[in-house]
Chain A
Amino acid sequence: MKVTIKYFAAIREAIGQGIEVRETLAVNLSALRDELLAASPAHADSLARGRSVRMALNQVMSDESATLTEGCEVAFFPPVTGG
């Protein structure tokens, strides 16, 4: 299926792009993250499991068990620091 992936803040800078569209067989966020870890050294570093990475599925904060659907929007970003 096709998914749109967005990156923000330090993760966006490290990966060098704010958005990418991917064909994936990943069923959930966890599997997609695994797939992205193999995509490039920058992905591997900034999305590494040891790092504090938050995720959203269709613009709602989600954990790695969240199930992907055709055309969904996924985002990876650092802990938020607004206010």
Chain B
Amino acid sequence: MNTRVSIQTEDFNLADEISALRKNDQRVGAVCSFIGTVRDHNVAPTLGTDVSSLPPEGAELARGGPSLRSSAQQGEVLSMELEHYPGMTEKAIEAMIDEACARFDIFAARVIHRVGLLQPLDQVVMVAVTSAHRGESFKACEFLMDYLKTQAPFWKKEQTPEGARWVDARSSDDAALAKWGIQAANG
């Protein structure tokens, strides 16, 4: 069987990965892929942070000035270090692909996630799925990303002008997985 999951420091090429995934399979009528990349900024933590000192939502509008909330929470990202749990990360994503294959009518799926030091613009993660019709690969691709976000052991540490900080989990990612009927409590 072809490799379905790769955790690697090297970059990847989407076209090459899709060619390999299709591998002359004439049943395939749809290929859906997603790539996550490194932004040069990040909104700060929605969880695990004391927000009581921040002005209430809308306060900046009343003042008519620039948003204090955004300027305080918007951080420039110089680079990002990704850590994972060798062994468990691969197993967890393999299990997610098994689950996607059980839920959706798809032929093949491939997940690549980079680790180590990454810069803004770098590719971080790729999910690609093949199926006969587009609906199933669209759904499976989104499902795999939603699942990966809250259940695959990766941790991001951002280097910012103010120093390094571990990225906090977002409750919106738990909500994204909940729409598939899976309750996560990552955040």
Contact = CB atoms under 8 A, between A and B. Distances in A.
B11 interface: no
Interface residues of B, number: 32
B156 interface: yes
A52 B47 contact: yes
Contacts of B186: 54, 79-80
B153 A77 contact: yes
Contacts of B187: 52, 79
B48 to A, nearest CB: 6
A8 B83 contact: yes
B109 to A, nearest CB: 15
B94 to A, nearest CB: 11
A9 B156 CA distance: 8
Nearest to A63: B185
B101 interface: no
B31 interface: no
Contact of B169 (A6, A52, A61, A75): A52
Nearest to A58: B88
B44 interface: no
Contacts of B145: 83
B87 A59 contact: yes
B140 interface: no
Interface in A40-83: 52, 54, 56, 59-61, 75, 77-83
Contact of A82 (B113, B166, B168): B113
B36 A83 contact: yes
Contacts of A25: none
B84 interface: yes
Interface string B152-181: 111111000000001111000100000000
Contacts of B131: none
Given A54-B186, A82-B113, 18 more contacts: A8-B83, A9-B166, A52-B187, A56-B153, A60-B91, A79-B168, A79-B169, A80-B151, A80-B152, A80-B153, A80-B154, A81-B154, A82-B149, A82-B154, A82-B156, A83-B124, A83-B145, A83-B152
9 contacts: A8-B155, A59-B87, A59-B88, A75-B85, A77-B85, A77-B155, A78-B155, A83-B145, A83-B154
